[in-house]
Amino acid sequence: MDESWIINHLGEDHDSPHAPVAPPLVRSNNFSFPTVAAMREAVQIEFDAPFYTRGHNPTVALLREKLAALEHAEDALVFSSGAGAMTAAVMAFLRAGDHVVCIDKPYSWTRKLLVDLLARFGVEHTFVDATDPGAYRSACRANTKLFLLESPNSLTFEVTDLAAVAAIAREKGALTICDNSHSGPLYQHPIVLGIDLTMHTASKFINGHGDVVAGVIAGRKEHVRRIMANEFMTLGAVVSPADAWLMLRSLRTLPLRMERSAGSAERIAPYLAEHPKVKEVYWPFLPQHPQVELARRQMRRCTGLLSIRVKAPDEAAVERFCDRLERFRMAVSWGGYESLVFPVCALKGPSGYYTDLPWDLVRLYIGLDDPEALLRDLDQALAAI
């Protein structure tokens, strides 16, 4: 099954009279039955057919089918946020006394899940250098049950050797979950590399229009079933059918949107690397990136999320650069049509999440704008430093 078949045809009605080209949005939260016998039968397959929308909804089911196929997974679940997806998946496989090995710069709320929430329930963790497979092995204990990965991660873009780390986890009897948001479901397939479960924030590339918050978990049927029958249903962070419908629409253009972002990054990242006002560029496909070989081996392409360190004498100069940008809107998040700038210095402070990052680090997201216009904008703003 090729990707465009999955996106445009899989699971869709081609044959009924007036088959709609846009799939129907079934908003109903409930489904009824003509007889007790029919209801009794339906409850047996509650998660596979319409019964109650928290568990199964036809619009959400179509999205699940397509996302699972894109990820080379047997099944997928869609949540009301990426954080909800991660929390449900992680909790499904842990109990008090277990230990988690996690990359040392995960997404901020993944870190909080380990440090604050799970620690309260007696789950321990060790953060390791994401780039060193040996570090995962040394961090393992007798009670290690889970490896929590994210490759590349989303501020400094360190790359984890997913096949090597998946092999270590298997040997140690630990499950692997990889946050695959950076590459989206098209440019990297952790499951093919041996990872058990992939997670996405669909708020980024998958929806891609800045108007939905959602998340995805994909993997083998037995794992997805386990999450569904427990944490998915009890924590209840499920997506609304209306948002699932918007994502089905967004999927139609996912390859085009990702190609545009990646193509523009291929032009802009090398340009920034040569710019006299830029100290460093973090983008794994740059020839001078220390992990470029690994990145090119396990990722099909590298999209337009990158960070730079600017050659600024002080924080005020970083602010001048960011404030001067006209085509990049200042905001967190990424993966939409809009190009964005996120200066780490804006979020340093009480939360403490970014204390281990340099103050002159600025993340850029190259959206669907004209890349030449973005280059001119970067050029004039860098001159303000």
Tokens for 136, please give them: 């995962």
Distance CA 347, CA 332 (A): 10
How far CA 33 is from CA of 42, 44, 54, 55, 59, in Å, comes to 9, 14, 17, 17, 19
> Minimum distance from CB of 120 to ligand PLP (Å)?
20
Q: Name the strand (E) or helix (H) holding 247.
A: helix 241-251
Distance CA 281, CA 287 (A): 11
> Minimum distance from CB of 215 to ligand PLP (Å)?
5
Contact between residue 239 and residue 78 where contact means Cβ atoms under 8 Å apart? yes
In DSSP notation, 21-79 reads: SSPP----SB---SSHHHHHHHHHTTTTSSSBTTT--HHHHHHHHHHHHHTT-SEEEEE
> Minimum distance from CB of 335 to ligand PLP (Å)?
8
Nearest residue (CB) to ligand PLP, 140 versus 201 = 201
Q: Which residue minimizes CB distance to ligand PLP?
A: 82
> Minimum distance from CB of 153 to ligand PLP (Å)?
7
Given the structure tokens 């099909």, which residue do they identify?
Answer: 300
**Interacting residues toward ligand PLP by CB under 6 A:** 81-83, 107, 150, 154, 179, 181, 201, 203-204, 213, 215
Nearest residue (CB) to ligand PLP, 82 versus 133 = 82
Nearest residue (CB) to ligand PLP, 83 versus 299 = 83
Q: What share of the chain is helix, strand, coil (3-state, %, to 5)?
A: 40, 15, 45
What is the number of other CB atoms lying within 10 angstroms of the CB of residue 30?
Answer: 8
Q: Rounded to the nearest 5 degrees, what angle is found at the Cα of 351, between the Cα atoms of 309 and 334?
A: 50
Nearest residue (CB) to ligand PLP, 198 versus 277 = 198
Nearest residue (CB) to ligand PLP, 197 versus 385 = 197
> Minimum distance from CB of 3 to ligand PLP (Å)?
22
> Minimum distance from CB of 336 to ligand PLP (Å)?
12
Nearest residue (CB) to ligand PLP, 118 versus 382 = 118
